[in-house]
Amino acid sequence: MSWLTTVDHKRIGLMYLWSVLTAFLLGGLFALALRLELLTPKEDFMTAETYNKVFTLHGAVMVFLFIIPAIPAALGNFVLPLMLGAKDVAFPRLNLASYYVYMTGAIMALTAILTGGIDTGWTFYTPYSTTTGGAVTLMTFSVFVLGFSSIFTGINFVATVHKLRAPGMGWFDLPLFVWGTYATAIIQVLATPVLAITLLLLAFERMFQIGIFDAKLGGDPVLFQHFFWFYSHPAVYIMILPGMAIISEIIPTFSKKHIFGYRAIAFSSVAIALISFIVWGHHMFTSGQSQLAAVIFSFLTFLVAIPSGIKVFNWVATMYRGSIALDTPMLYAISFLLLFTIGGLTGIFLGALSVDIHLHDTYFIVAHFHYVMMGGTVIAFLAGVHYWWPKMFGRMYNETWARIGCLLVFIGFNVTFLNQFAMGAKGMPRRYYSYLDQFQGNHIGSTVGSWILALGLFIAAGVLMASLRKKYDAPDNPWGSKTMEWETQSPPITHNFPNNPVMLHGPYDYNEPVVRREA
Amino acid sequence: MSSHTLPAPGDTHGHDDHGHHDPNLQHHFVEMAQQFDTAKLGMWLFLATEILMFGGLFVGFGLQQAKFPEAFKAAHHHLDRSMGALNTVVLLISSFTMVLAVWAAQTGKRKVLITNLALTLVCAGTFLVVKFFEYSHKIHEGLLPGKFFHYAHGQPNEYIFFSFYFMMTGLHGSHVILGMGAITWLLIRAIKGDFGPGYYTPVDLVGLFWHLVDLIWIYLFPLLYLIG
């Protein structure tokens, strides 16, 4: 019972962790069902309408219930105050409220799924979303509510980083995870309210025909797309920035080397946050915006590649001549490097105007954003879960099986989505439950890949769950890391540190010899 | 314990969570000033979200007005300028009494605080009463959008003006009601004597929120009532 009223950031983080993992399981089962239906070109066990509902739910559950809260609200909540040497986040009660608001939104989403479903795609484009049946209005309100939980977390993190750093900890002594989640929190605070008003207008449109997005009444359906992407493009960076932030912790820890280009990585997080607000038009190259706007948005989109490239090169440079230990978190981090690079580079294809006309609404774009969202964010999330698991639960997991899980995830992921790049480039459109026979080879490959991926994820889950049956066996600092969360015991005591911590060395000072304690 | 964490100066026996300091100080802050600054930063961030939320409506309104300037001009003649102006004055006065309330809390003048909070509430209530009369007049004319809309005269795109009018003033009105709730809560705590020079954070924060509600109206009034 004490968990339900706790204001301890660690417990709230863990409650978020179990909740987002449940959402991940749900969204994942939807994905497996979709892939199974696509095994053959004909209708197997889903009608076209069911298929539309299932892909909408896969997208909406994964985006709004899993990826957006996954790293900031679950791992960030647990780790961020510890990294700062703080006793809690700035507003502990607001933090708890954020969790309850999230749960309210999740229950509304589930109700919407069970009472009619949604077939609009997770983007709720008008005019289809204002005319189709089903539980679109309820789902809209659910996402509206979930947005508040995201805003609360964002406000909390910005205030915490500004005001609760340990004595002696300046801005450039912060671990890069903190920089990444700080940049994320800024986007959460500044972008989510625009989604809120957009969804409110959409709900009113459905309930009262206010006509703001309805061309018949003088409104403008493209305005909805502008509003939606003004939030949802920055939201993509709400998803990836904390992933990058985790990688920036794991790579120096397992290379036993000071991070290369600390300030460049820190500022590139902020740069990505800022640029994220001025690129939304690249989702609308075929929606009838002006040629000039399209050219400008295309150019601005290319700018994102610069800070992203800076990060990737700095991570690789950190590994160069490092003393690399291939523990599970590092294996996930290396997977991230490969997969995110593919996802990022294919993003440049899509940002180029003429190429995008060919690739728009094909499987190429599905593969691209899965390489960034799953190959990037989810892999980084898994890296973070494996990295901080000993700290969060005080137990070590079976390293061998965890590595096997990681390997299967990596192989399964590539088999699933490389096939989708191939068929997308050949013209297979997204969101179809049926297709021409010529695409079946790639579809079979993709479906088989999804099974390998699922097997890997279930092994990873099984390994982690199995560790919970043991007694506490994790040392304070199993990986020999230098950041502050490893200075307290595993799992940490209620108020985090026995004494008020003071910053004595930087988060990546691996120059002094480190003795690695084996579990 | 590694060399990384050392006891902070003046805190050699660890932090005492239930010690002899200010009862309003939460356990994770070192001192009241830090707690106050943090709370204020949080409030400003929240106000930023409010501005962006209304910002979407302002942008949408601007775009539609640029598209149908004549219809918007014709539609806005249905609004009662004198009532809008009256409400502007009422809200400006309420902001003034709110400032006085914050000052009274800071200086420990409990009666002045209670009086000014009550006056602010009266002004907010007046605003809503005036708004109620404006709304009922519009609804009577058939200008409420959706299935209620049955105003047959005028230009074809006046409809969309009223959609924005009701969305914007409705969202603003709901903020006025929220603000009244917050001020009532302050009033109850002020009567209990919770605030003084040592602790007035809630009064300060609700004050900030109330000024924003006022400020948004200051923009809404010319935007909607004074076109052309």
Residue A429 DSSP SS3: strand
pLDDT at B13: 40
List the single residue in A with minimal CA-CA distance to B36.
A163
Domains and CATH numbers, chain A: 9-249+360-487 (1.20.210.10)
Closest Cβ–Cβ partner in A201, A220, A502 for B167 = A201
Distance from CA of A499 to the nearest CA of B (A): 5
Cβ neighbours around A458 below 10 Å, total: 14
List the single residue in A with minimal CA-CA distance to B28.
A87
Q: Which of B44, B50, B163, B174 to mutate to test the interface with A (most CBs of A within 10 A)?
A: B163
Q: Does the pLDDT at position B106 exceed 50? A: yes
Q: Which of B18, B24, B25, B28 to mutate to test the interface with A (most CBs of A within 10 A)?
A: B28
pLDDT at A217: 83
Residue A493 DSSP SS3: strand
Q: Does the pLDDT at position B196 exceed 70? A: yes
Alpha carbon A286 to its chain's center? 26
Q: What is the dihedral of CA B138, B142, B144, B148, to 10 degrees?
A: 150
Residue with tokens 């600054």: B37
Q: At what angle do helices A291-319 and A328-351 cross, to 10 degrees?
A: 160
Give the pLDDT mean for B132-146: 89
Residue A285 DSSP SS3: coil
Q: Does B4 touch chain A (CB under 8 A)?
A: yes
Which backbone phi and psi does A496 adopt, to 5 degrees? 80, -60
CA dist., res. A285 & res. A297, Å (int): 9
Short-list B212, B220, B216, CA closest to B179: B212
Short-list B40, B161, B22, B153, CA closest to A217: B161
CA dist., res. A233 & res. A350, Å (int): 14
Instruction: Kindly list the distances between the CA atom of residue B15 and the CA atoms of A495, A501, B5, B21, B123, in Å, as whole numbers in the listed order.
Output: 10, 11, 14, 12, 46
> What is the Cα gyration radius of chain B?
23
Short-list A175, A162, A80, CA closest to A503: A175
Which residues 196-215 of B have a C-beta within 8 angstroms of A?
none
CA dist., res. A125 & res. A383, Å (int): 34
CA dist., res. A256 & res. B140, Å (int): 74
β-sheet bridge partners, residue A429 = A362
Residue numbers of chain A with a pLDDT score lower than 50: 514-519
Task: Record the tokens describing residue A301, joined without a space.
Answer: 């989109």
Residues contacting residue B45 through CB under 8 Å, at least 6 positions apart: A154, A155, A158, A159, A189
Which backbone phi and psi does B196 adopt, to 5 degrees? -170, -175
Which residues 66-105 of B have a C-beta within 8 angstroms of A?
67-68, 71
CA dist., res. A500 & res. A304, Å (int): 40
Task: Record the tokens describing residue A334, joined without a space.
Answer: 């290396």
Q: What is the mean pLDDT of chain B?
A: 89
Task: Record the tokens describing residue A141, joined without a space.
Answer: 């309100």
CA dist., res. B158 & res. A218, Å (int): 9
CA dist., res. A27 & res. A351, Å (int): 28
pLDDT at A461: 97
pLDDT at A37: 96
Short-list A226, A172, A183, A171, CA closest to A201: A226
| Superfamily in which the B33-225 domain is placed by CATH | Cytochrome c oxidase, subunit III, four-helix bundle (1.20.120.80)
CA dist., res. A329 & res. A325, Å (int): 10
CA dist., res. B142 & res. B152, Å (int): 9
Which backbone phi and psi does B218 adopt, to 5 degrees? -60, -30
Cβ neighbours around A184 below 10 Å, total: 32
Residue B201 DSSP SS3: helix
Q: What percent of chain A has pLDDT above 90?
A: 87
State whether A219 and B17 contact (CB < 8 Å).
no
Give the pLDDT mean for B143-152: 78
Task: Record the tokens describing residue B10, joined without a space.
Answer: 């003046």
- Give the start-to-end residue ranges of the domains of chain B: 33-225
Residue with tokens 């909540």: A77
What is the DSSP secondary structure assignment for residue A98, as one 8-state letter?
H
Residue type, A298: S
β-sheet bridge partners, residue A496 = A493
C-beta separation of B183 from B120 below 8 A: yes
CA dist., res. B49 & res. B57, Å (int): 13
Lowest mean pLDDT among A327-341, A419-433, B78-92, B141-155: B141-155
pLDDT at A168: 87
Q: Does B42 touch chain A (CB under 8 A)?
A: yes
Distance from CA of B115 to the nearest CA of A (A): 30
Q: Does the pLDDT at position B10 exceed 50? A: no
Residues contacting residue B77 through CB under 8 Å, at least 6 positions apart: none
Closest Cβ–Cβ partner in B4, B38, B39 for A487 = B4
CA dist., res. B228 & res. B225, Å (int): 9
State whether A209 and B146 contact (CB < 8 Å).
yes
Closest Cβ–Cβ partner in A218, A220, A227 for B159 = A218
Alpha carbon B207 to its chain's center? 8
pLDDT at B147: 75
Buried/exposed B197-216: b ≥16 CB within 10 Å, e otherwise? eebbbbbbbbbbbbbbbbbb
β-sheet bridge partners, residue A120 = none
CA dist., res. B34 & res. A2, Å (int): 28
